[in-house]
Amino acid sequence: MPPSMRWSSVIPSPQTCAKQICPNAHLRAFSSSTRSNAGRTTRQRRLMFQWLDSQGAAFRDPLPGSTNYLTAYDNHGVLKRVKMARGSDTSSKPADEQIDGDELSTLGAKSNDSEEADEASNNTKTGGDENRLPPEGRGDRRPFPHNKSFYSEPVLSEEFREEIWRRIMKDGMSVREVSATTGVEMRRVGAVVRLKEMEKAWLSSGTPLARPYAQAVMSMLPQTQWNTRLDARRPHEPINSLPVHEATTLQIFEPTSESRHFTREDAARAFDENLLSTDERIPHPEMVAKEKDLLAGLPAELVAKRARAREDAEIEAKQKQQDRIAKKEAAIKKVDTGRWQFRIQEVKVDDAGVDGRGPRGTGWRYGTPLMDRSRGQIKIPTRVD
Amino acid sequence: MPRSRSFHTLKRLGGGKIRQSWNKINLYNLSRLLSRPAGVTHYQQKWKAKSTTRAYHGEQIREKHWERMFRSRLRAEIPMDINYLARHDGSELAAGRGSGRETRPRDAINLRTNNKKSFRIPYMHMTYAPMERRLDTAVFRSLFASSARQARQFVIHGKVKVNGKKMPYPGYMLNPGDMFSVDPEAVLFATGAPKDQEAVRSGRRLKRMQQHEARQEAEAQKAAEIRRTKALEAKRAQEEEENSQQEADAAALKQERENLDEAQLKKVQRKQINELVETAQVLIRDTQNEPSAKRKVELRSFVKSAKTVSNKMQRKDPEQVDKEIEELVTSFAKLTPSPPQAGEAAKREAKASKAAAEEKEALDTEFKKEYQKSLDAIMQARYAATDESKPYATPWRPRNYMSAFAFIPQYLEVNQNICAAVYLRHPIAKPNAAEVPSPFGEEVQQLAFGWYLRRR
């Protein structure tokens, strides 16, 4: 069938056509086709932009001097803590309990109940004096309204990281010591120093740092500030946490006599033959030992001396272990060709076992399949040294 | 794996899927999320819970892959009080109970607090903990990318290194202690505000111009190289007559080994000079606060002198080059404009940073150097300039709606200055807190956990 006839008077002129399809076409210097659904505004889309212009407007830009999460606002887009402050202007919060004692024991003792108390200290960064925001609470630091267990925990401030680096690299303190005195986990202390070293290398080689990004991100996150005053210092995180061992997740019935002095060691042994007790599984057993000495009423010099002796013993044990590893490594004959390092070791044929398929056997063995071509084998590296 | 058309969906209340992204649609959906999944039967509830949670946790991974990753074992840690451990050996919990003692000693009660509910460990929130080990997820969690998809793209495009080695696999499972770093330019692009149309167009124009210049320079260099090799060959032919070839080769190898350290040092120095030249060129091109004609002339003459140093450094002693670089830096610092006073917020920030800087100075005076100060001033000038060759809006500012999603979980230690982070340990649950960032409530998580637990 031939196409239907069209009268020229019916066909609109190109100009009017363009105007109808895209009202803003005359504003552009070039011609372009618009997306098919660009002009389509569904009800949901309209509602979303309504929300973004009203309640959601607060999230567009960061809140100066504070975090800016969904849970900090009520349904009308008003900061909950501002509303609270307006409601109870006259009543003031009771001051946090004072803490005293020496650096190490203070932080250790406070690590358990610090979670609720550390809010005020973490909120040293505030806006201008005239329209100062009330300090944010832990409840304001939940990014997800429905997940009541996830909080945006404070990160170490730049100054704090610098202080940790200085203590390790300049003062020559041990990681364990720095962790105990600053209230930062040992693994984190190591990571901070490692990253800081890299940062210093970048600085000295003239590689530009991502400063604007770092400043913006740090202003959006809650921070633990470094406090030079010892009594005002709070631990960054609990440093003496006990990992829940799989063997202890099952309830067991352990019959024992009433008169038995059933300690933590006995409890560990009841769960598993090889399970160590709590005192040995926590990251800082030396803090417990020191606390014991203090409770026993030993003089301060003796406590310090015993602590030093324990530290020396630990260093010696570590050195011994390293020596053992070095000796084992030295026993391997190495031939360096420049392109490859050959490592020549003694191998016993018997290692392959009676059936020749033992896991310690060396070389390709007849009848033993190579699994690397079979289905489901993960080919991506599992570690990078 | 193509991104489906409806990645960010707008549905009726609670219908839109939540994604690992900083998109505004995602934020809107998050604000309207329903606490309980719809569904009548238990099976329907489980299915729905699995479907909504998987849309957030690793939606880029096939279901089979995740099923292999899933572990029923959930990690937890309990903070210990050293004072309590020092005072008791554990026997106080059982002592005397056979002879009628009903209550525990006060210490033991305090250890776990009176209210048992406040000591609950939210294990169910740890359902998707293995997902957090993936490299792409960790990059997103460190705030180096604006979505998990983008993080995955960065990994695939070779912008992410693990322990200093390129790692192109987004599914690489990080081990505790692994350090990963992302190309800072990619991070600035991902987290920065986008350019407007006009800036995009002028950026393209600039790029075309630069490409043309680079081509011309390369040709000139090639010609010079040919000339140089010809001269060298002639010289070597002359030498060959005097010594045997073998001897010369051995000597050259020895010389090369000796020069290796020096060559590396010179490479670093050249990089330093190149950075300075690049910064000067950015300042010349700055469209927002265009330098005056006089300053432009000064900057151009600086570029020329820096290039002269760079060209002649091969023949010089590294220490002397260092001195020359220092001179360049101090002369350049004098040319950089003072940072503009943008507004109240900037002033306040500057005040705060000044106070912090003062304290820092008090802490270590040995690192206070005039040279370092000059370098900082140069860098500041570069960040404040409008550089249209960048793929993001300059001067850099964070993208909209970023602050609502900005948090760093505790299992990561991030250094934003170098865009690198360390995966400290696997995520854990603690009393009243779980480290896996997830927008869903405990009920939904529990149902999802139940779904994956079946047949196990």
pLDDT digits over A328-349, tens only? 999 999 999 999 999 998 888 8
* Most A-contacting residue of B28, B62, B80 (CB-CB within 10 A), to test interface: B80
The one-character DSSP state at B77 is E
CB contacts, 8 Å: A288 with chain B: 82, 85-86
- Give me the residue from B94, B121, B275 closest to A208, CB to CB: B275
Q: Indicate whether B123 and B142 sit together in one domain.
A: yes
Q: Indicate whether B25 and B79 sit together in one domain.
A: yes
Residue B281's pLDDT is 82
CB B181 within 8 A of CB B160: yes
Q: Does B58 map to a domain?
A: yes
Cross-chain Cβ contact A220/B382 below 8 Å: no
Residue B235's pLDDT is 84
Q: Which of B381, B397, B413 is the last residue before a domain boundary?
A: B397
- Give me the residue from A166, A264, A376 closest to B89, CB to CB: A264
Of A201-205, A340-344, B5-9, B173-177, which gets the smallest average pLDDT?
B5-9
Residue B369's pLDDT is 64
CB contacts, 8 Å: B197 with chain A: none
Strands of A206-332 (E only): list them: 223-224, 241-243
Q: Which residue of B has its CA nearest to A64?
A: B345
B166-185 pLDDT tens trace: 999 999 999 999 999 999 99
Cross-chain Cβ contact B90/A263 below 8 Å: yes
Backbone angles phi, psi at B89, to 5 degrees: -110, 10
Number of domains in chain B: 4
Alpha helices in B243-389 (DSSP H): 245-285, 293-312, 318-335, 344-363, 370-384
Mean pLDDT value across residues B99-110: 70
HSE at residue B21, side-chain half, CA atoms within 13 A, is: 20
CB B124 within 8 A of CB B53: no
- Give me the residue from A220, A241, A261 closest to B80, CB to CB: A241
Q: Indicate whether B124 and B220 sit together in one domain.
A: no
pLDDT band for position A231 (cuts 50, 70, 90): confident
Name the pTM for this structure. Answer: 0.79
CB contacts, 8 Å: B394 with chain A: none
Residue A118's pLDDT is 41
Cross-chain Cβ contact B33/A162 below 8 Å: no
Q: How far is A126 from chain B (nearest CA, A)?
A: 10
Q: Which residue of A has its CA nearest to B23?
A: A60
Cross-chain Cβ contact A147/B167 below 8 Å: no
Q: How far is A368 from chain B (nearest CA, A)?
A: 26
Structural domain of residue B238, as residue ranges?
195-259
Alpha helices in B71-196 (DSSP H): 82-87, 106-112, 135-141, 148-156, 184-191
Residue A112's pLDDT is 38
Q: Indicate whether B46 and B127 sit together in one domain.
A: yes
Closest Cα to residue A170, out of A204, A191, A207, A196? A196
Q: Which residue of A has its CA nearest to B169?
A: A380
Alpha-carbon gap, residue B184 to B199, rounded angstroms: 21
CB contacts, 8 Å: B187 with chain A: 210, 213
Closest Cα to residue B422, out of A284, A96, A155, A306? A155
Cross-chain Cβ contact B172/A380 below 8 Å: yes
> CA Rg, chain A, in Å?
33
- Give me the residue from A147, A163, A214 closest to B438, CB to CB: A147
CB contacts, 8 Å: A180 with chain B: none
3 state DSSP class of A242: strand
Extents of the domains making up chain A: 155-224, 242-256+263-278
Q: Indicate whether B241 and B167 sit together in one domain.
A: no
pLDDT band for position B426 (cuts 50, 70, 90): very high
How many contacts does A have with B, using Cβ atoms within 8 A?
306
Q: How far is B98 from chain A (nearest CA, A)?
A: 6
Residue A294's pLDDT is 95
Q: Indicate whether B51 and B179 sit together in one domain.
A: yes
Residue B255's pLDDT is 66
* Most A-contacting residue of B57, B114, B322, B417 (CB-CB within 10 A), to test interface: B417
Q: How far is A348 from chain B (nearest CA, A)?
A: 33
Of A186-195, B41-50, B275-284, B362-371, which gets the smallest average pLDDT?
B362-371
3 state DSSP class of B429: strand
Using the predicted structure, report yes or no on whether residue B340 has a pLDDT greater than 60.
no
CB atoms near residue B289 (< 10 Å)? 11
Q: Does B115 map to a domain?
A: yes
CB A165 within 8 A of CB A194: no
Cross-chain Cβ contact B422/A258 below 8 Å: no
- Give me the residue from B76, B268, B395 closest to A205, CB to CB: B268
Q: What is the CATH number of the domain that holds B40?
A: 3.10.290.10
- Give me the residue from B83, B162, B409 closest to A291, CB to CB: B83
Q: How far is B230 from chain A (nearest CA, A)?
A: 31
- Give helix then strand counts, H and E, for chain A: 14, 5
Tokens of A194: 């490692």
Strands of chain A (E only): list them: 155-156, 223-224, 241-243, 333-336, 341-344
Alpha-carbon gap, residue B131 to B68, rounded angstroms: 11
CB atoms near residue A289 (< 10 Å)? 18
pLDDT band for position A366 (cuts 50, 70, 90): confident
Of B127-136, B151-160, B263-272, which gets the smallest average pLDDT?
B263-272
Q: Indicate whether B115 and B252 sit together in one domain.
A: no
Would you list the DSSP string of B197-241? HHHHHHHHHHHHHHHHHHHHHHHHHHHHHHHHHHHHHHHHHHHHH
CB B444 within 8 A of CB B53: yes
More confident residue, B98 or B68: B68
Alpha-carbon gap, residue B410 to A24, rounded angstroms: 49
Mean pLDDT value across residues B319-327: 81
pLDDT band for position B118 (cuts 50, 70, 90): low
- Give me the residue from B173, B356, B404 closest to A68, CB to CB: B404
Residue B362's pLDDT is 57
Run of H or E including B178: strand B178-182
More confident residue, B241 or A213: A213
- Give residue for tokens 């209550």: B103
Q: Indicate whether B14 and B121 sit together in one domain.
A: yes
Using the predicted structure, report yes or no on whether residue B261 has a pLDDT greater than 70.
yes
Using the predicted structure, report yes or no on whether residue A191 has a pLDDT greater than 50.
yes
Q: What is the overall mean pLDDT for chain B?
A: 84
More confident residue, B321 or A291: A291
Q: Which residue of A has its CA nearest to B423?
A: A191
Alpha-carbon gap, residue B410 to A152, rounded angstroms: 9
Q: Indicate whether B133 and B70 sit together in one domain.
A: yes
Q: How far is A100 from chain B (nearest CA, A)?
A: 14
Q: How far is A380 from chain B (nearest CA, A)?
A: 7
More confident residue, A102 or B418: B418
Q: How far is B234 from chain A (nearest CA, A)?
A: 31
Cross-chain Cβ contact A206/B178 below 8 Å: no
Q: Which residue of A has its CA nearest to B361?
A: A159
Residue A375's pLDDT is 79
Cross-chain Cβ contact B167/A384 below 8 Å: yes
- Give residue for tokens 């350090």: B179
Tokens of B429: 């649950």
Cross-chain Cβ contact B179/A194 below 8 Å: yes
Q: Does B97 map to a domain?
A: no
Residue B246's pLDDT is 57
* Most B-contacting residue of A61, A114, A149 (CB-CB within 10 A), to test interface: A149
CB contacts, 8 Å: B268 with chain A: 205-206
A111-164 pLDDT tens trace: 333 444 344 444 434 444 456 788 898 889 999 999 999 999 999 999 999 999
Q: Indicate whether B306 and B409 sit together in one domain.
A: no
pLDDT band for position A176 (cuts 50, 70, 90): very high
Q: Indicate whether B184 and B299 sit together in one domain.
A: no
CB contacts, 8 Å: B421 with chain A: 195
Q: Does B332 map to a domain?
A: no
- Bridge-based pairing of strands B412-415 and B178-182 is unpaired
The one-character DSSP state at B417 is T
Using the predicted structure, report yes or no on whether residue A19 has a pLDDT greater than 60.
no
Q: Indicate whether B232 and B364 sit together in one domain.
A: no
Using the predicted structure, report yes or no on whether residue B338 has a pLDDT greater than 80.
no
Using the predicted structure, report yes or no on whether residue A102 has a pLDDT greater than 80.
no
pLDDT band for position A367 (cuts 50, 70, 90): confident
ipTM: 0.80
Using the predicted structure, report yes or no on whether residue B320 has a pLDDT greater than 50.
yes
Alpha-carbon gap, residue A159 to A162, rounded angstroms: 5
The interaxial angle of helices B148-156 and B184-191, nearest 10 deg, is 150
Residue B321's pLDDT is 80
Run of H or E including B98: none
Rounded to a whole number, what is the distance in angstroms from the first to the last CA of chain A? 73
Q: Does B358 map to a domain?
A: yes
CB contacts, 8 Å: B83 with chain A: 105, 108-109, 291
Alpha-carbon gap, residue B368 to B372, rounded angstroms: 7
- Give me the residue from B272, B356, B416 closest to A213, CB to CB: B416
Q: How far is B108 from chain A (nearest CA, A)?
A: 13
CB atoms near residue B291 (< 10 Å)? 17
**What sign results for the dihedral spanned by CA atoms B362, B363, B365, B367?**
negative
Closest Cα to residue B311, out of B217, B378, B215? B217
Please state, in angstroms and as integers, the Cα–Cα distance from residue A193 to each residue in A104, A240, A383, B363, following that order.
Answer: 21, 21, 22, 17
Alpha-carbon gap, residue B76 to B54, rounded angstroms: 23
Q: Which residue of A has its CA nearest to B435?
A: A150
Cross-chain Cβ contact A59/B424 below 8 Å: no
Alpha-carbon gap, residue B145 to B147, rounded angstroms: 6
